[in-house]
Amino acid sequence: MKIALLGGTGHLGIGLAVRFAILGHDVIVGSRKLEKAKMKAEEYNDILESLGEKARVRGLANEDAAREADVSVFTIPWEHAFSTAEFLKVALKDKIVVSPLVPMEKRGKTFYYTKLPEGSAAEKLASILDSKVVSAYQTIPAEKFARFDESFEWDVAVCGDDEEAKKIVIDLTNQIDGLRAFDAGPLAVSSMVESITPLLINIMVRNKMKDLGVKFVYKLRKG
């Protein structure tokens, strides 16, 4: 599958780009600047080669990346994601768009979830785009996700209104070693997932922890 990481030059972008490339997907790193995209693609390809994998990441300007890809992930800080969405609206029409956006603000030593009138960042993205928006990846600790010699076991809550698009994102996520994706419902519940991230950060800061992720512990119901 062709996967674009829009603004994939940052913290979350590197982990997703390298891990999707390891799986054999056609990965495109997007940036506002073509040169930066190409430079980062080279960097990610060096990592792939050091892991004994094929160098298969390409760098393009965000607009070209969005136009080419089947699935585009908005790995862009939430404050800048909505203006970027306006700019990419035509390129992303009818495509699958993944929102890992976490709107949050720091007051004193504590992070708070920022409530948006649309309900959540993913719903705001959906209100701008004519795309199939799926909400996922908010609780992945990006730093550890980009340490390719370490293992992890994290769960990913995925929500969205287009069932087929949601299934594609769940399947893609389950392909990544150490991630397990769960259908969490429609896009209207995205705020519940987005608001877990400031909770995790507050727990980490106050308890001197790092790399805190999410894992659901459960038993399957009989019948």
Ligand X SMILES: NC(=O)c1ccc[n+]([C@@H]2O[C@H](COP(=O)([O-])OP(=O)(O)OC[C@H]3O[C@@H](n4cnc5c(N)ncnc54)[C@H](OP(=O)(O)O)[C@@H]3O)[C@@H](O)[C@H]2O)c1
Window contacting ligand X (CB under 6 A); options: 9-17, 43-51, 150-158, 207-215: 9-17
Backbone phi and psi for residue 155, each to the nearest 5 degrees, phi listed first: -100, 150
Nearer to ligand X, 33 or 54 (CB): 33
Q: Is 164 exposed, middle or buried (0-12, 13-18, 19+ CB in 10 A)?
A: exposed
Q: Where do runs of H (alpha helix) occur along 10-132?
A: 11-22, 34-50, 62-68, 78-88, 121-128
Window contacting ligand X (CB under 6 A); options: 18-26, 96-104, 157-165, 170-178: 96-104
Would you count residue 84 as binding ligand X (CB under 6 A)? yes
- Alpha carbons 38 and 30: distance in angstroms, whole number: 9
Would you count residue 36 as binding ligand X (CB under 6 A)? yes
| Residue of the chain from 59, 100, 160, 198 that contacts ligand X (CB under 6 A) | 100
Would you count residue 191 as binding ligand X (CB under 6 A)? no
| Residue of the chain from 3, 4, 5, 7 that contacts ligand X (CB under 6 A) | 7
Would you count residue 186 as binding ligand X (CB under 6 A)? no
Nearer to ligand X, 80 or 147 (CB): 80
Window contacting ligand X (CB under 6 A); options: 16-24, 41-49, 100-108, 152-160: 100-108
Q: How many residues of this chain interact with ligand X, rule: CB under 6 A?
A: 23
Nearer to ligand X, 168 or 200 (CB): 200
| Residue of the chain from 82, 113, 137, 154 that contacts ligand X (CB under 6 A) | 137
Confirm if 43 and 15 have CB atoms less than 8 A apart. no
Would you count residue 78 as binding ligand X (CB under 6 A)? yes
The distance between the two most distant Cα atoms of the chain, rounded to a whole number of Å, is: 56
In the complex, minimum distance from the CB of residue 134 to ligand X, in angstroms, rounded to a whole number: 14
Window contacting ligand X (CB under 6 A); options: 6-14, 108-116, 180-188, 207-215: 6-14
What residues make contact with ligand X under the rule CB under 6 A? 7, 9-13, 31-32, 36, 75-78, 80, 84, 100-102, 137-138, 140-142
